[in-house]
Structure 1
C-alpha cells in the first residue's frame, strides 16, 4: 500500500453510513450526497485498501470482518469528538450559544412553551433548538444537550433533577358523563382509547394491551396529545396525564389519580455539560418555573366537582 491515499475521517463516515443503512440509498441520504457518489467512493476505498469491506447480499450490504473493524474505529472517533465538544462547552464563561432540548409534545404544549419564552426573555443570548419525540435521544452522542422527560429510570450516564411525579387518571368527555359513573378496564360496554405499542414502556400502555379486548379498544395513538384529542372527540375514554386532562374544559376525570401509572418528570443533561453556564442557567431556571406547577403535574389541582367518580 506504499503511496496509497491515507485513510480519512470521511472514509470512516462513509463505511459507517453504509453499514447502518445496509445499502447505498440510506447512506446517501445520511451523508447528503447522491447514490452514485456513495457507490463510487466505496469502490475506490476498497480498491485503495485492497480489501473487501462489504458482502453484497440480496437483503443488503453486510460488513466483512475488516469492515466491522473500520466501523468500530469510526464509532470510537465519533464518541471522542463528542466528548471533546462537551468538555470545551463546559469551559464556557458566559451563558450564551445554543441549547438543544428534547421533550415530548404533550410536555411542550401543556407545560414548557411559556417557560421557554420566559427563559429566552431573561437570557436573550441563548438560542433554543427543541426536538419533539416520545423516544429519548442519545445525550452522550450530542443528539441533544438536555432532555425533559417522564421516566422512572433515567440513564446512569445523565445527571439532573426530578421535578415531581406526573399523575395519570381516567378521562372521558364531559357531555358523555354528566353524573358519577364507576368504570373499569373490564367494562365491555364502554369504548376505550389508548397509547400505541411503541410506548409500551409505560405501565398504562401494558395494562391496556393486557386487559382490554379488541372490541373495547377502538383507537390507539403514539402521542399523548393525539390521545387527548380522541377522548375530547368522543371516540372513547382513556388514561392520560392529569396536567393535560385537568385543563381541558370538555374533559372530566372518571377516576382519582392512579399511583401505578405515575412517572417522574426529569430535567437531564450529560455529566460533562452540567457545569456549562448556559446548561446550568437553563436547568436552574426551568426547574424553578416548574416547581409552582407541581400541583397540576401531580394531579392535585383539580376541584372535586370535576371528578365524575372516584375509582
Structure 2
C-alpha cells in the first residue's frame, strides 16, 4: 500500500470545501486534471471512492467523510506545529504579503504602510486583487482584506464591520435624474464582475443605462466618477471623506456586505504576520468606527 501524501489530502480538502474540482483547481492555481489526479491517487490508497457527483456538485462518500475527519485533524496538527515553531520569536521581523480587494484598494494602503513604518525590520508586499480569498488559497498572500457576505469555513478571520453602499457623482456636477437609465455610469470591467459593487450594478442599473467608463480598481473608479457627469456606486465609508464626491439622493442601496480581515486556517500566522493582523484590525476599526457607512461588528463575529 502506498503511503498517504499530504498534498493529496490537501487537494482533497480544497475539493470538499468548494464542492467542485473546477473551483478547487482555480483556488489552488492548478488545472482541473491535477485536482482529479490527486483525488484518484488518494482513492487508490483508501481503496474506495471519496466523492459522489450530483447536480449540485461533488459530495464526500461515507469513506470520504472518514478521510475528511482525519485530514482535518492532520491539518490542525500541522497548523499547531507550525505555530509552536515560531511562538518563541520575540522580535517582529520578516515578510508579510497582504492582498486587498480591488474594490477597496488604495484607501487602505496607508494603514498597511503604517505597520512597516512601525517595524523597520518588516518588508510588506501588497497585492491589489479582484478576489483576495483566491489569493489566500493559492498561497500568494498571508493576510487578506476583502468584502464578503460570509466567511468560508476554511479561512480564519475577523469581521471588522458592515459596509453600506451609496451612489456618488462629482461635487458640483449636475445629476438631475434618479432614473439609472438617464445617468452616465462608471462600471467594473469584466475581470471585476465578481466584486460586490459590480453585483449591485448588475441587479439595480437598467440594461439600457449608459456605461461611460469601465474600471478595474477603486482609485480608477473614484477618478472616473470625479470627471464630468459620471456616477458610480461606492462604499460609503471610503467615498464620504473625499471632498471631490457627493452622494446622490434617491437610490436605495443600504448595507452591502462585511469587511473581513482573513488568513488561511491551514497556514497559521507567525509572530510577524500575527502582529500585522492585529495592527490592521485595530487601525481599521479606529479609522472607520463612528464614520458614515460602517457598522462595527459584534465581538461574536470575530473568528480566529
Distance 2:124 2:170 in 1: 36
Consecutive unaligned residues in structure 1, runs of 5 or more: 1-7, 10-29, 31-76, 301-311
**Structure 1 residue 91: deviation in Å?**
5.7
Aligned to 1:117: 113
Structure with a larger share of its residues in strand: 2
- 2:155 equivalent to 1:155: no
**Structure 1 residue 153: deviation in Å?**
0.9
Note closer, same or farther for the CA distance 1:140–1:199 as it changes in structure 2 (3 Å cut). closer
Runs (4 or more) in structure 1 with deviation over 4 Å come to 77-87, 138-142, 256-259, 271-275
Count, aligned residues: 274
Q: Deviations over 1:39-91 (max 9, x none)?
A: xxxxxxxxxxxxxxxxxxxxxxxxxxxxxxxxxxxxxx999988865664456
> Could you tell me which of 257, 268, 271 is aligned with 1:263?
257
* Within-5 A mapping of 1:67-216: 85=82, 88-89=85-86, 92-105=89-102, 107-112=104-109, 114-138=110-134, 141=137, 143=139, 144-156=141-153, 157-162=155-160, 164-174=161-171, 177=172, 183-184=177-178, 186-195=179-188, 196-199=192-195, 202=197, 205-206=199-200, 208-216=201-209
Note closer, same or farther for the CA distance 1:210–1:242 as it changes in structure 2 (3 Å cut). closer
Distance 2:130 2:278 in 1: 24
Aligned to 1:41: none
**Structure 1 residue 109: deviation in Å?**
1.6
- 2:275 equivalent to 1:277: no
Note closer, same or farther for the CA distance 1:104–1:80 as it changes in structure 2 (3 Å cut). same
Consecutive unaligned residues in structure 2, runs of 5 or more: 7-29, 31-73, 295-304
- 1:293 match: secondary structure: helix
Note closer, same or farther for the CA distance 1:211–1:243 as it changes in structure 2 (3 Å cut). closer
Q: Deviations over 1:155-193 (max 9, x none)?
A: 22313241x32232111122xx557x5643x34332222
Distance 2:268 2:159 in 1: 11
Distance 2:114 2:203 in 1: 43
**Structure 1 residue 289: deviation in Å?**
1.8
Distance 2:193 2:102 in 1: 17
Could you state the TM-score of these two structures normalised by the residue count of structure 1? Answer: 0.58
Could you state the TM-score of these two structures normalised by the residue count of structure 2? Answer: 0.59
**Structure 1 residue 217: deviation in Å?**
3.0
